[in-house]
Structure 1
Amino acid sequence: MNSQPESHQSLLSFPFIFAILGLVWYLFLWTVGLLGCRTGRRRYRMRPRSPLATAPPNSVHGVSILRPLKGLDANLYENLESTFTQEYPNFEIILSVADEQDQALPVARELISKYPSINSRIIIGEEVVGVNPKVNNLIRSYHEATHDILWVIDSGVSVAPGTLARSVDLLEPSTQTNLPKRRVALVHHVPFASCSRREAFLNTNHAKMYLAINAASIESCVVGKSNLYRRSDLERVNGSLKPRVHMVSENDQDCTHGLAAFGKFLAEDNMIASALWHELDLRHDLSCDVAHNVIGKMSLSDYVWRRVRWIRVRKHMVLAATILEPLTENLIASSIAAASFRYLFGIPIWLFLVIHHAAWLWVDLDVYESLAGHPLPADRRWQFISAWCLRELLALPIWFLAMLGNEVIWRGKKYEVLRAGEVKRTSGDGIRRGLFTRWRQKDIDYQPLLSNHSDT
């Protein structure tokens, strides 16, 4: 008589519930991963030429390309030149530096001389509106730009010649067919790194999740290395992420709007995208182009602390997602799934793990090849796989390290991350001591508005 209750009780035991939850979570992760893989195949393996590339200049929307510069980034000349060679008939380029002694200035001047037919100029001197040096560097360019459409692109990024035309196609569609329900306010490009350690993160797991989230379009998810948006839209948001009402209140008039409102955030790119999404109820779209990010040589220390910085900023913006992040990582997810499959189906753990890691690596490599536009070269295959394995092993230790603190170092300056992703400058020499120590600080104090002139 007690057999049925005992059987029912065994079905509700903790191991059984754990196994079912582990199985459901594992299937969910594979759904996300395969969606990212499919999106990569469909969007990036074919990059058609836009008709805007050969259109008359007066028939297309003008674009102001804003490139903030600081120092000699790896591949700087080629990165900047890629914007001078865009196949688009109506654009201007504004290169900005905070310091008139900046080493990037000779490179910028050489390119302006090389392409005299391109409407381009240099702005020297920042305007301090917050703690974010990139925003401070961009403020004057933002206000002086001729056109409403702005393309903000980091100095460490190069792009293909057809990128601008294809991006404007998405931001300003020429036909009314197949339009999304909500207007596209921002077009972004998935980062594609060339450093082996960052390749194993940005071009695989990160890209896979990035593509999947944007394909589902359920929430804002933007990395700001290369973004197009309208200044008129940005002037309507203030970073509060609260939906805008039709009538502007008196309190709202006291708020800072536009780019200056995001100077208090370290991840201004993500906040701008979120503000356009939540405050204006507009949407984003991914171009079929990538933002090539040439890193150069990166030490293990540089890689670890860069990841730590991202996680520490993110945990103050999306805490729940950051807490769940370890469960999305390969080793933890596969361990949970192996235990679940062993309990439910009797599959040996070692056999499951061998099949899982091979399949996981295959999907990551497929995403890489979609973004790269070519297979991984044979002579770099084992180097890539070793970096991929190191990335998987370091994921959990990096996460713990990031969750234990709130300070980050960016471009030699130390910041404390506050609520909602805001930051404040903190005292210190900007040097990491102890485990993974290779940070150096070149300049402690932030110099406001070193000069106030344009170089045309």
Structure 2
Amino acid sequence: MWQLVLAYFIFSWYIILISIGLIGWYGARKRYNLRTNTPPISLPKDPEGVSILRPLRGLDTNMYENLETSFIQNYPTSKFEIIFAVADDSDPCLAVVRSLIEKYPHVNARISLGEHVVGVNPKINNLMDAYRTAKFDIVWVIDSNVSVVPDTLARSVASFSAPTWSGARVGLVHHVPYAIIPDDASNNAFGTHLERAFLNTNHAKMYIALNALAIDSCVMGKSNLFRRSDIDRINASRLPLAQQVSLPSDVRGLAAVAKFAAEDAEIGMAVWHELGLAHVLSADVAANALGSMSLHAYASRRARWIRVRKGTVIAATLLEPLTESLVAGTLAAFALRYLTAGAVSVWMALLVNSLVFLVIDLDVRRVLTGRRFESWSEAGLFVMAYMARELLAFPIWVYAVCGSEIDWRGERYTMLRGGEVRKVQRRGREPALGGRGSYEPLLSSES
């Protein structure tokens, strides 16, 4: 009897997983499939002003082109400003920024130098002065390795007025991230292709699905807009129990999330739980330019994300392998063979499972990127990277859950319960956050 119950339970979970994937696929096709043919949004006579904050550190892949997309938004120049937050006055990124400011003198753009330390999170420390001196209430925080199309700002501001299923006011607008590899021979490391295959398929599909289901906050901090008047009210006091930590009640705004490793997830949680406001995915994407990433760097990056999630939502992290198509498909194949008394072959079920996930994921990639593969060699490389990502997912998870320490821009930290981090060893002079050359957060809200 217990074998029968287990088989039904496993197969039922597999059906739920497939259903969530289909929701993500449908949402991707509905939201992004025709975005390249979408006419420019009609702006009101007096649109709301927006302060665009770009936290910078070092030189990112495609940095000039990424930052330039903020200058060419189809929005009245009197209604937006760009603030580049740079902690060190000797940072090489300043040369890029100054050249862009010189190129677009009609755009209100400036540099905010120095950092205000309010916690362990250097991205928040770097943003504090720019955030406090921003001219407008709506703030758009966008990473330096992200580019957007010219109508993104207009559509995002319009999304604050979008209706929500709960009837709650929109408190945060965000964009699904997808990966691009610039035309650069140095970007041909296999880890880069693994990262692209992951972000443009399974991650994007689940990100869209979870936001469509709107059961809880699911936010990745690549490109987010929120109102400063809202964020200034949060103090992280009403986060879910698994994420609560001791915070002084008088610490509010960005400073309230400065002790967390994943400030993007915590801001999203606070907007959702503490303020009771909704999130909306705009009909635009955040194009994340990938630099060269080795296989080891890719595995380390995935392990770091898992360890951050383990410190934040341990139950979901422990169950995470059951959301992967290979693990879930294998269990479902054995369950189906048992339920059909051997009439269905395990290998046949696994083959069908792999083909179904591959077809769905490849179409999600097509919709997000807006193009099909240009050659069989390009398609073959992507599919090979996709399959390698699937095979590596479980071993990386096993390695990650067996530890709690993370490398965070040259520093060694231990993840604590609730998403906090504690420095355990200083291994270099570089105190930054995230990946190479940027203030990328530790956590993607893929879980």
Q: How does 1:226-237 map to 2 (within 5 A)?
A: 226-237=223-234
Q: Where does the alignment leave 5 or more consecutive residues of structure 1 unmatched? A: 1-12, 244-250, 430-440, 447-456
Post-superposition offset of 1:105: 0.3
Residue deviations 1:221-275, cap 9 Å, x none? 00001000000000111122359xxxxxxx9984200011111011000000100
Please report the TM-score for the alignment, with normalisation by the length of structure 1: 0.87
Q: Within the alignment, does 1:382 sit opposite 2:374 as a pair?
A: no
Q: Within the alignment, does 1:113 sit opposite 2:119 as a pair?
A: no
Post-superposition offset of 1:301: 1.2
1:419 pairs with one of 413, 417, 423: 417
Match of 1:409 in 2: 407
Q: Within the alignment, does 1:312 sit opposite 2:301 as a pair?
A: no
Match of 1:193 in 2: 179
Q: Within the alignment, does 1:352 sit opposite 2:349 as a pair?
A: yes
Q: CA contact under 8 A between 2:261 and 2:421: conserved in structure 1?
A: yes
Question: 3-state DSSP class of the match of 2:55?
Answer: strand
Question: 3-state DSSP class of the match of 1:427?
Answer: strand
2:337 pairs with one of 339, 342, 348: 342
Residue deviations 1:310-337, cap 9 Å, x none? 1111112111111110111121111111
Letter of the aligned partner of 1:31 in structure 2? Answer: S
Q: Within the alignment, does 1:64 sit opposite 2:51 as a pair?
A: yes
Q: CA contact under 8 A between 1:276 and 1:282: conserved in structure 2?
A: yes
Using a 3 Å threshold, how does the CA distance of structure 1 residues 444 and 289 change in structure 2: closer, same or farther?
A: closer
Q: CA contact under 8 A between 1:49 and 1:162: conserved in structure 2?
A: no
Q: Where does the alignment leave 5 or more consecutive residues of structure 2 unmatched? A: 181-191, 241-245, 434-447
Return structure 1 stretches of 4+ with deviation > 6 angstroms.
none
Q: CA contact under 8 A between 1:182 and 1:282: conserved in structure 2?
A: yes
Post-superposition offset of 1:15: 2.2
Match of 1:33 in 2: 21
Q: Give the whole-Å Cα distance in 1 for the aligned partners of 2:13 and 2:97.
A: 50
Using a 3 Å threshold, how does the CA distance of structure 1 residues 178 and 152 change in structure 2: closer, same or farther?
A: closer
Q: How does 1:288-307 map to 2 (within 5 A)?
A: 288-307=283-302
Match of 2:41 in 1: 51
Q: CA contact under 8 A between 2:409 and 2:432: conserved in structure 1?
A: no
Residue deviations 1:341-372, cap 9 Å, x none? 11112201111111111111001101111111
Q: CA RMSD in A?
A: 1.9
Q: CA contact under 8 A between 2:236 and 2:247: conserved in structure 1?
A: no
Question: 3-state DSSP class of the match of 1:276?
Answer: helix
Identity %: 50
1:87 pairs with one of 53, 71, 74: 74
Match of 1:125 in 2: 114
Q: CA contact under 8 A between 1:52 and 1:60: conserved in structure 2?
A: no
Q: Give the whole-Å Cα distance in 2 for the aligned partners of 1:364 and 1:394.
A: 17
Q: CA contact under 8 A between 1:50 and 1:169: conserved in structure 2?
A: no
Match of 2:203 in 1: 206
Q: Give the whole-Å Cα distance in 2 for the aligned partners of 1:299 and 1:206.
A: 20
Please report the TM-score for the alignment, with normalisation by the length of structure 2: 0.88
Q: Give the whole-Å Cα distance in 2 for the aligned partners of 1:325 and 1:350.
A: 23
Match of 2:134 in 1: 145
Return the index of the structure with the highest Cα Rg. 1
Between the two proteins, the alignment pairs up a number of residues equal to 410
Residue deviations 1:374-402, cap 9 Å, x none? 22332311111111111111111111111
